Structure 1
Amino acid sequence: MTETLVIRLDAVDSGQAAWVAVDDQGRRVGAPGRGALAEAAAAAAGRSVTVLVPAVDVLLTRTELPVRGAARILRALPFALEEQIAEDIEALHFAAGRPSGSEVPAAVVDREQLEGWLADLAEAGIEPQVICSEAEGCPAAPNHLNWLLDERRCLARSGTGLPLMLEIDSVDDALRFGPGFPVEEGQPRHLTAYLTPEARLKHNDALEALRPDLATLEVRLLPDGVLPHLAAGVVTREPINLLQGQFAPRTQLDRLWKPWRAAAALLALFIVVVVVRDGLELVHLQREEAQLNEAIAAAFQQALPGARMEDPRFQVERRLAALRGTVDPGNQGFLDALETVGSALGNSANIRLDALSYRAGVLDLKLMAPNVEALEQVRQAVGRDGRYTATIQQADPRGDGVEGRIQLTGEGA
């Protein structure tokens, strides 16, 4: 069973805090503590750490975003929330929660404030996995209005909506300025109030006065303060972790990576040597290929002076067949059409010829092209000299390209 130390930073002095350990069900493990952050560091040994920061310093909101993926959502959040925020968005840090459809919960905090919290925690030797608003620990229950009350503050949540921290003098202030009941007017209203001992002394009579107007009123005492309840809330639910983007915590993989850096550097050097060797060999082969092409071109010009070299083997074999008188007149049209197609395809390196058929003077080609525009370029190239008419018979998307069929008719085809 995993344990989490939940540390609640003091709203006035972030070097001071209260803390409590809970299991993965939110049940308290041991007594709560209070004091300097350095004292909390001792309790953090062997536990994951979640830090609660003052709710007044973090804006919790929701927005509609038509994008998917954590990285894209983080990039879009500042612009989606810009109109809701009076401050310069460049000075703020944005974090996103789990999307629900196109709605994305978000948290916004001053970047320098977050850096200050992290500096205080690092100085105390604490490396948190989660930093979130303390308001995220507020209870959530459908059709209920939930309050966490101490003497001067009320943390309120209506149903499963966004929590809100209020400075109050009375229960009437919580009703007037806080979120309303999550039901329509006239429907049964349910209120659950969690009170510290001090808050019960101050607000209990006012709460009881509300009972006649409510379907249910449940009052629960928090003898150890609100922290254990907040800790259970953030552990059993999924708060918006402020440690995102540039503030994302180091993973266990990062820690394991450090001892292997030297070995990885040697491996990288080996890979570079292999790549350089293969590159030099490729350059050598390219030079030999260029020399071979020059020799082929010279031999072609000797065999067919003045002819344009496109497919040397085919052109020479055809000329030899013509000299020997072995070209069948019935096949001459096919050869002429094939030469035209070869010339058109020779200028389109990104097009692949998969199949061809010739029947009754009609030549059908099956091609694979990156797009329909490339097929059209082949069609135009075939018909450029006016000897043939080419039409695109079919163009179907296939993976990252288009499978097309082109038909040639006309002189010789």
Structure 2
Amino acid sequence: MSYRLYVRSVSGSVAVEQQPGERRYSWALLDSAGHCQTRGEADSQDDIEQTLAQNAIEHSLLIGLIPGDEAAFCLANIPAKQQRFIAQALPYAVEEQLAQDIETLHLALGNHGDQGYRVAAIDRERMANWVGVYSGWRDLTLSGIYADASLLPPRADGWSACVDGEVTMLLGPAGEWLSVQTSNLSLFLQTLLVPGNDAATALTLYLEGQAGDEPSLLMTNRVAQDEIEITTEHFERLPVELLALSHQHPGAGAINLCQGNFATGPAKKSALTPWRPLILVAAAWLVLQLSLETGLGWYYQNQADNLNAQAMSFYRQAFPDDRRTHPGNARRVVEGQLRQNADSGPSLNFITLMKFTGQQYAAVSGSNGIRFNSLNYNQARGELVVDLRADSYDLMSRLRNGLAAQGLDAQIGSVVNEAGEIRGRLTVSGG
């Protein structure tokens, strides 16, 4: 289960100057369903980490909340739609709305509203300090940093306010946020009644405790009370829990300050992140396939080397003095030697053909059973034609097979059965 830990400094802006062991936080832990599992107030970082460890909660996301007055809200009217062009035009679009040099500010882009893009601006050095405050927590990954007031429940037709001791957080209908001293809240309400101010005059006020605990400061200005629609919501939870639960709302448009050079954790996820399991499986399969192919290649190469060694061993036995032949050219060398031996063999002229035929004649019949009637030799075709008679066709066939075994081409034709003998014609050539 994925958990999200919302952490807010109790000491406000002073936290960046304090030592890590001196800092105290109010915090709320939400599960993946958006339910608060546990909370704490004025706890140190070690206390929070120990609580998570005792509950076996690991690898969770951390959302850091900073005071609303640390980041300024402004609007940017940029006609471009491509992210690259928006990022290039953003400093020029908000420069006139900010009192500080734009080069020293970190700008974070929010959603696009009716009046343009919502933008948060914070001093770069202060942003780096806050990143340092919320980074390096044990078993926690920094997911984002938000101005606390920007996480209040939004109200499209008016303002939302949460009283947190001496400080009151406010969120306007356009997504603007600010933090004021609670003692100055009534003055802020009067600014909503200034003639010509088109701002909505409805307010949802979130208060800790039971009904009847409203601050007396709201009762001191009856004009504001009569002309501003004030809805009071009481809750028995810490303000950080209210902010955390509101952040889970699908319509929440709070601006994550962890962008650009300060992007971290989930904010830096690649577009390929949803495909990571499939990529890992494919990579594992590829490694396995390569390992198998490598193993088979090594096995077949080893077999080929063994066969080459055996072939060369036989070759060395036949040609012990040849040292230039190797497995790569052995076939070509042997074929050349065979051609050379064939070319240097006996000339297949009349005498040679007659010699082989006479040898086979003597071996087959011993001068009995086969009789030569006549001999003809065609020098142009290199053929010896023997007209012969035999007691049986088997004797003729044995004569022909014997010549074929000597590498000659021997054919029997014009076979005729006569009384008591077989007459045929034997044609012998060099093959």
CA distance in 1, matches of 2:79, 2:233: 41
The 5 Å alignment of 1:127-138 reads: 127-138=141-152
Q: Which residue of 1 aligns with 2:43?
A: 35
Report how far residue 72 of structure 1 moved: 2.6
Equivalent residue number for residue 154 of structure 1: 168
Distance 1:22 1:179, change over 3 A: farther
Structure 2 CA distance for partners of 1:179 and 1:139, relative to 1, 3 Å: farther
Mapped to 1, the partners of 2:163 and 2:227 lie a distance apart of 18
Mapped to 2, the partners of 1:140 and 1:118 lie a distance apart of: 26
> Take 2:154 and 2:101, find their aligned partners in 1: how far apart are those partners?
32
Change in CA separation of 1:159 and 1:98 when aligned onto 2, cut-off 3 Å: closer
Amino acid at match of 1:239: A
Q: Distance in 2 between matches of 1:23 and 1:207?
A: 42
Judge conservation of contact 1:55–1:165 (CA < 8 Å) in 2: yes
- Residue 93 (structure 1) shift: 0.7
Within a 5 Å distance, the mapping from 1:290-369 to structure 2 comes to: none
Name which of structure 1's ranges 98-107 and 39-48 shifts more when overlaid on structure 2.
39-48
CA distance in 1, matches of 2:160, 2:209: 17
Q: Provide the secondary structure at the position in 2 that maps to 1:200.
A: coil
Judged with a 3 Å threshold, the aligned counterparts in structure 2 of structure 1 residues 39 and 118 are, in CA distance, closer, same or farther, namely farther
What is the Cα deviation at residue 249 of structure 1?
Answer: 1.5
- Residue identity in the other structure for 2:255: I
Aligned residues: 261
**Equivalences for residues 28-107 of structure 1 within 5 A:** 28-42=36-50, 43=52, 45-100=58-113, 103-107=116-120
Distance 1:109 1:195, change over 3 A: same
By how many angstroms is 1:115 displaced? 1.1
- CA gap of 1:60–1:40, structure 2 versus 1, over 3 A, is farther
- Shift of residue 124 of structure 1? 3.5
Deviation at 1:162, TM superposition (A): 1.2
Q: Distance in 2 between matches of 1:72 and 1:179?
A: 39
Distance 1:220 1:39, change over 3 A: same
Task: Decide whether aligned partners of structure 1 residues 36 and 216 sit closer, same or farther in structure 2, where only a CA change above 3 A counts.
Answer: same
Q: 2: distance between equivalents of 1:219 and 1:181?
A: 25
Distance, in Å, in 1 between the alignment partners of 2:76 and 2:187 is 28
Matched, 1:17 2:25: yes
Map 1:130-209 onto structure 2 (within 5 A).
130-177=144-191, 190-197=202-209, 200=213, 202-203=215-216, 206=219, 209=222
Cα distance in 1 for partners of 2:4, 2:32 equals: 7
Q: Does 1:245 align with 2:291?
A: no
CA distance 1:214–1:78, change in 2 (3 Å): same
Structure 2 SS opposite 1:128:
strand
The Cα shift of 1:28 comes to: 2.0
In the superposition, relative to structure 1, how do residues 152 and 247 fare at CA in structure 2: closer, same or farther (>3 Å)?
Answer: same
Cα distance, 1:61 vs structure 2: 1.4
Cα distance between partner residues in 2 of 1:52 and 1:91 = 21
| Structure 2 CA distance for aligned equivalents of residues 181 and 49 of structure 1 | 44
Distance 2:129 2:225 in 1: 48
Provide the secondary structure at the position in 2 that maps to 1:75.
helix
Equivalent in the alignment of 2:3: 3
CA RMSD of the aligned region, Å?
3.9
Going from structure 1 to structure 2, the CA distance change for 1:235 and 1:164 (only over 3 Å counts) comes to: same
Classify the secondary structure of the residue corresponding to 2:176: coil
Change (3 A) 1:24 1:213: farther
Greater Cα offset, 237-246 or 13-22: 13-22
TM-score normalised to the size of structure 1? 0.53
Q: 1:111 to 1:180 in 2, by over 3 A?
A: farther
C-alpha distance 221-132 of structure 1, shift in aligned 2 (>3 A)? same
TM-score (norm 2): 0.51
Say if 2:107 and 2:121, in contact at 8 Å, map to a contact too.
yes
| 2:150–2:175 contact (8 Å) kept in structure 1 | no
What is the alpha-carbon distance in structure 2 between the residues aligned to residue 220 and residue 100 of structure 1? Answer: 27
Contact 2:207 2:214 in 1 (8 A): no
Question: C-alpha distance in 1, partners of 2:114/2:28?
Answer: 35
Q: 5+ residue gaps in structure 2?
A: 17-22, 288-431
Whether the 8 Å CA contact 1:55–1:134 is kept in 2: the answer is: yes
Deviations 1:181-224 (A, max 9, x none): 99969x9x543211134993533761895796258542222333
Residue 55 of structure 1 deviates from its aligned partner by 0.9
Pick closer, same or farther for the CA change 1:129–1:138 going to 2, 3 Å.
Answer: same
Instruction: Tell me what 1:311 maps to.
Output: none
What's the % identity of the aligned pairs? 21
Q: 1: distance between equivalents of 2:197 and 2:92?
A: 32
Instruction: Tell me the alpha carbon deviations over residues 293-341 of structure 1, each in whole angstroms, 9 at most, x when there is no partner.
Output: xxxxxxxxxxxxxxxxxxxxxxxxxxxxxxxxxxxxxxxxxxxxxxxxx
Q: Is the 8 A contact 2:8 2:65 kept in 1?
A: yes
* CA-CA distance at 1:110 after TM superposition: 1.0
Give the deviation of 1:175 after TM superposition: 0.9
The structure with the largest alpha-carbon Rg is 2
CA distance in 2, matches of 1:23, 1:204: 37
Which amino acid counterpart does residue 95 of structure 1 have in structure 2?
A
Partner of 1:385: none
- 1:220 is matched with 233
Q: Is the 8 A contact 2:61 2:142 kept in 1?
A: yes
